Amino acid sequence: MAAEDVCPVWLFDDLARLRVVLAEDAPEVPDRAVDDAWRALCARNPRYFDGPMLAFVSWDADTGVITARRDRFRRLAVRETVAIGVMQLGVTVVTRHRDRVLLGRRSRATRVYGGMWELGPSGGVEVSELEQSRSPGTRVPGFSGGVFVRAGEAELWEEMGVASGAVSWGLLGLVEDPVGGSFEVALEARLGDGVEVSSAPANWEYDEVAWVGVGELGAFVERWGDGVIPPTVALIRRLRWS
C-alpha cells in the first residue's frame, strides 16, 4: 500500500485561515491498563514524561478548523498496547536552507518509528502555547494558526539551536498518521543565509541528520525504502518533490 493511502495529506497553504477550537477534555478517570502500560514504558525509557498535550479530534478542510482537546501524554504513549485511539496534534517542520531540506534519523529510544528517517524536527503542540495564540474577535472562535508556528519555533530551537528571528515560516499542509498516532501541521521553515546549520543531532531524539537537496529527495526515499516514515514519504510525494 502506498504511503499516501496510509497517511492522507491535505495541501493547505493559508496559515491565516487555520484555527484550533477545543472540545471537551478527556475524562480524568482511573485506568489501570493505561497506568500499567505507562510504568512499563518508563522502565524501558526513563526520559518519558507525562505532561499535558493536545489530542486531535477532527479537521474541517472547508473552514480550516482543527478541533482538539486537552489530554495527557501517557494516554498517547500506550496506544500501541491499550486501545484508546488517542492521536496527538503536532507539527512537522520542513526545514529548508537554500536548496536543501533537513531529515533526521530517529533514535531507537523514541516512542514510534525508531531508527527511521523523517522530515524534521517534529513534535507535539504544547497546551501552554494556546493562550499565546488566542484569536479574539475572529469569525471562528478559538486559537489562531500562530500556535503551530510557536510549536515549530520551539522544535527548531531544541533540535537545531536556531532562533526564530532567522526563519521565515509558511504552511504546506496537514498529514494524518494513523500508525504513529498523530495529526501533523506541516510548516516550512526557511533559514536565512546567515544561519549556521549543523550536521549533527542536537539531542537524543535523533541518531543522525542529513541535508538533502530538494531534487534528490526522491532518490533518498528510494534508497532508504521502508527506512523513511510513511508520513514523510506521503508529504514528499504530494509536494511533488520526488
Q: Is the pLDDT of residue 84 over 70?
A: yes
Is 58 domain-assigned?
no
- Per the model's pLDDT, the better-predicted residue between 203 and 89 turns out to be 89
Q: Is the pLDDT of residue 96 over 90?
A: yes
Is 47 domain-assigned?
no
Is 53 domain-assigned?
no
Q: Is the pLDDT of residue 29 over 90?
A: no
Q: Is the pLDDT of residue 156 over 60?
A: yes
* Pairing relationship of beta strands 52-60 and 143-144 according to DSSP bridges: unpaired
Q: How many domains does the chain fold into?
A: 1
Q: Is the pLDDT of residue 26 over 80?
A: no
- Per the model's pLDDT, the better-predicted residue between 71 and 165 turns out to be 71
Q: Is the pTM of this model over 0.75?
A: yes
Mean of the per-residue pLDDT values of the chain: 86
Alpha helices in 49-196 (DSSP H): 73-77, 146-160
Distance of alpha carbon 122 from alpha carbon 100, whole angstroms: 17
Structure confidence by residue, pLDDT tens digits, 34-55: 999 999 989 988 888 888 889 9
Is 95 domain-assigned?
yes
Residue 46: per-residue pLDDT: 87
| pLDDT mean over 206-226 | 93
Q: Is the pLDDT of residue 126 over 90?
A: no
Cβ within 8 Å of residue 15, ≥6 positions away: 145, 148, 149, 169, 170, 171
Distance of alpha carbon 119 from alpha carbon 209, whole angstroms: 10
Q: Is the dihedral of CA 182, 235, 11, 136 positive or negative?
A: positive
Distance of alpha carbon 240 from alpha carbon 133, whole angstroms: 31
Q: What percentage of the chain exceeds 70 in pLDDT?
A: 85
Q: Is the pLDDT of residue 231 over 90?
A: yes
Is 118 domain-assigned?
yes
Is 154 domain-assigned?
yes
Q: Is 231 exposed, middle or buried (0-12, 13-18, 19+ CB in 10 A)?
A: buried
Q: How confident is the model at residue 129 (pLDDT cuts 50, 70, 90)?
A: low
Q: Is the pLDDT of residue 103 over 80?
A: yes
Q: Which domain holds residue 200?
A: 3-17+88-238
Is 69 domain-assigned?
no
Q: How confident is the model at residue 241 (pLDDT cuts 50, 70, 90)?
A: confident
CATH number of the domain encompassing residue 218? 3.90.79.10
Is 9 domain-assigned?
yes
Q: Is the pLDDT of residue 137 over 50?
A: no
